[in-house]
Structure 1
Amino acid sequence: MFSIVLNIVGTLFHLYVAARLYSLDAVRSRIPRRVWWVGALLVWLVYFAGVRIGDEALDWRWWPGQFALTWLGITFVMSLCLLAADLASGFGFWWRAHTQKIRALGAAAGVLLAAFALFQGMRAPVIVDQEVVMRDLPKALDGTVIVAVSDIHLGAQRRSEWLAARVAQINALQPAAVLMLGDQVEDNPVGRPLPGEPQLAPTLRGLRAPLGVWAVTGNHEFYGDAETTVREFEEGGVRWLRDRQVELAPGLVLAGIEDIGRRMRNEADYTSGLARTIPAPTNTATILMSHIPAAAIIEEASARGVDLMLSGHTHGGQIWPFSYAVQKRFAKFDGAYDVSGMMLYVTRGAGSWGPRMRLWKPGEIIRLTLRAPKISSQSALPNGSVPHGG
């Protein structure tokens, strides 16, 4: 069903862009109609084949799948700009003397925006710094640095070489612990993607974090063989928190819950995992990892005394204007929020899904510096935390 939708939507975008570009005098005067439309048909056939193959093949088939998603993203961005030009010119019914210029401006804007989105999607994720005051954090742990990364989507787009660059990027931050917030893989286990390419486990073992590397599952882990993916990452020294908690250091607890995506889709209760993981309100400094920033999980985590909740999944909308649709689904979808004294950080992730494009913001890796509350004569929030705005 999903591939059928992609075929229909992608075909409409493709035809609209091809028709509008060929309506430009600068194009029509240089390229014969038959040549243009034969070329458009060939590009569409590659797109159609790529949709049929999918985006997860790790052999030679990866490129038509990736082309299809990239072309879908490019034609979407260009369609937005060309449609804006058509609306401005009344689809050629008014301002006829300026229709060609307006349409040419729309085409140029579409090309530039698509190129910028590709650049933002392919560049290395930026490092975002965030300080977190935790009400019960021991003084001895003040200044502890934790790095969180989400939605790396290893697979056809991003493989061991890309991951190795992220490992070096993370190690340069000298974290005490590394937290992986779900959607580590696109669909299926990565294994050995291509002959001669480094395996995943040795790359993961390159992470340097004295308090360990920890992970929770995301919805994409379960689109493939989740248990094999779990084993692959365990071979690389990653430890999974699947509805359980550990003492990361004396006085600091790290908890993680299994992905709730399937339960949400089935409209089932999805807070039971959190209730098992943190069965009672806690007075210990606690970090919770939950891939999806669902409202009920956020509220329950705050009520149970969690100091810091970390999520991903939303990609920050990834390609504008989808950010508005994502925000309707998840009110807290990008950045830091104060939730009754608990800090929630929803990261837009280091990778991407679908087209390797981002409009407007690039991917990110979060460096969190934990702070013990300062005791002063000034008034403070009830639990000693500091407010954060999203």
Structure 2
Amino acid sequence: MAVFVGLIIVVIGLIHFYLWKRLVKDPVRPGRARKAGAIVAALLAVLVPATLIGVRSGAVEWLAWPGYLWIALMFYLLVTLAVLEIPRLAVLLFWRVRGRARDRAPAAVGAPSHPTVSAAAARPGEALASEPETAEGTSGTTSAVELVATAPSAEPAPEGGGIDRRLVLARGIAIFAGLTAASVTGYGVKTALGGPRIDRLQLPLAKLPRGMDGFRVAVVSDIHLGPLTGLGHTRRIVDQINSVQADIVCVVGDLVDGSVAELGRFAAPLAEIESRHGAYFVTGNHEYYSGYQEWIDEVARLGMRPLRNERTEINGLDLAGVNDLGGAEEGDAPDFARALGDRDTTRPVVLMAHQPVAARDAAPFGVDLQVSGHTHGGQMAPFNLLVRLQQPVVSGLGRVDGVPVYVTNGAGFWGPPVRVGAPPQVSVLELRTM
């Protein structure tokens, strides 16, 4: 663990060194402004691990807003500057090639403009005869050759021209990157703090009884009650859930980022969730960072039924739930055999599992549909490309080892209060007969 933390700190330091170079050192001339920029970059580099460690432990929650906003801005500055590296290098290469060509041109054109040297080159004997010897015993020919070698270019570059062009380029890149990162981050904050949108999808299930055609399953995940949320955040989500008039509500993990004592009041509106056949809950990995047993009890008190490696039958449909994969480290591992084994396989089964990758363990049990969260849809594009390396489905409907897996983007956010390319969702799956 210490090695991993150390590696993260080194990476954070390298990122801030790169940002300092492109945003301070390159575009700012030496002086007080550059020194001040270096100090700010160092402080921001310290702010990132202080936020990630301190906020999670509850020691410095006041750092949450400035720290997480800087993390988002840092991310988009890094992405923008990385994209600009290619055109930046192309411009610098063009200037270098052009400069070399210009430096060669005056030597070729300017040679005939020195008649003494031309004559000497054409008639070396005469030159030796006509030129007096110097004190060192050499002829004037040497002086003429030296004159050519040291002659000024026919097209001298403007004083400081190269440096000025590089400075203009560096400043243009810094301004563009800053404006782009700030605009994207601002848009992401507005999206994350707004109400979740409703995403609807019809899904055919081969074994679904005719009487259940059109059965509506509301799926919500990753509410992430925490230091940056409040009662308004929870109420917006509950209002959206209730607006769809679902038959069942599936809350698939990562409800909280803190203890019941800290966040219980923010969870209170969850007691107002409405559905025809109840609301159900399975743990996510963040419950295991927050005192999972207390939250299981609290969720039950609020009227949601925790499915703890178990299943229940609803009008001919089996609804099963497994603990999150992260529970294994806390002695609360998922048990697919207990939740899915020895059931009536003529009935369809919908599995609630926080992580999409759990479908690989569920596939041997003939699961008809798995509903999951965990990915946040990537939360901050293009981070979704990295999420795909760990999870087989990032957002929407996919298939894992033959199991249809639907992944909701989640209704909240983790870390930075920013969502770009993955708006918060309450998903409504309408099950249809085939």
TM band (smaller chain): 0.7 to 0.9
Deviation at 1:237, TM superposition (A): 0.7
d(CA) in 2 for partners of 1:309, 1:149: 13
Partner SS state of residue 54, structure 1: helix
Residue 334 in structure 1 maps to residue 395 in structure 2: yes
Tell me the percent identity.
Answer: 29
Equivalent residues in 2 for 1:1-390, closer than 5 Å: 1=2, 4-23=6-25, 32-44=33-45, 46-47=47-48, 49-55=50-56, 57=58, 61-90=60-89, 93-94=92-93, 97=165, 99-100=169-170, 101-186=172-257, 188-193=258-263, 199-200=265-266, 202-248=268-314, 250-263=315-328, 273-280=335-342, 282-294=345-357, 297-299=358-360, 301-338=362-399, 342-373=403-434
Deviation at 1:309, TM superposition (A): 0.8
Contact 2:218–2:249 under 8 Å retained in 1: yes
In the alignment, the residues of structure 2 paired with residue 346 and residue 14 of structure 1 have an alpha-carbon distance, to the nearest angstrom, of 34
**Between structures 1 and 2, the one with greater helix share:** 2
Residues 1:104 and 1:285: Cα distance change in structure 2 (over 3 Å): same
Aligned residues, how many?
Answer: 358
User: Structure 2 CA distance, aligned partners of 1:4 and 1:158?
Assistant: 30
Change (3 A) 1:89 1:151: same
Residue 47 (structure 1) shift: 4.5
1:86: how far off? Answer: 3.3
1:52 is displaced (CA, Å) by: 4.5
Q: Name the larger-Rg structure.
A: 2
Q: Secondary structure at the match of 1:211?
A: coil
Amino acid in the other structure paired with 1:20: R
Code of the aligned partner of 2:350: I
- Which secondary structure does the structure 2 equivalent of 1:32 belong to? helix
| Deviations, residues 36-74 of structure 1 (Å, cap 9, x unaligned) | 4454455555545434423353x8x32303432331221
Q: Tell which has more relative contact order, 1 or 2 (C-alpha 8 A, sep 6+).
A: 1
Q: 1:92–1:17: structure 2 CA closer, same or farther, 3 Å change rule?
A: farther
Distance 1:148 1:179, change over 3 A: same
Q: In structure 1, the residue corresponding to 2:356 is in which secondary structure? A: coil
Encode CA deviations 1:335-384: one digit per residue, 9 max, x unaligned: 102467743102222222222223322121111112122xxxxxxxxxxx
**Alpha-carbon deviations, 1:2-55, whole Å to 9, x = none?**
654554433433343344223575x76998344444544555555454344233
Cα RMSD for the two superposed structures: 3.1
Distance of aligned partners of 1:49 and 1:328 in 2 relative to their CA distance in 1, 3 Å threshold: closer
Post-superposition offset of 1:157: 2.4
Query: Structure 1 residues 301, 47: closer, same or farther in 2, change over 3 A?
Result: closer
Task: Give, as a single letter, the amino acid of the residue that structure 2 aligns with 1:62.
Answer: E
> Which amino acid in 2 is paired with 1:87?
I
TM normalised by structure 1 equals 0.80
CA distance in 2, matches of 1:65, 1:6: 19
Summarize deviations over 1:262-282 as a string: whole Å, max 9, x none: 54x89x9x7x71111111461
| Counterpart residue identity of residue 325, structure 1 | L
Name whichever of 356-365 and 88-97 sits farther off. 88-97
CA distance in 2, matches of 1:20, 1:99: 11
Question: Residues 11 and 299 (structure 1 numbering): CA distance in 2 closer, same or farther, change over 3 Å?
Answer: closer
TM-score normalised over the length of structure 2? 0.73
Q: 1:283 to 1:261 in 2, by over 3 A?
A: same
Tell me the distance in 2 between the aligned counterparts of 1:356 and 1:40: 22
Following TM superposition, the consecutive aligned residue runs of length 4 or more in structure 1 with deviations greater than 6 angstroms are 27-31
For structure 1, the 5+ residue unaligned runs are 374-390
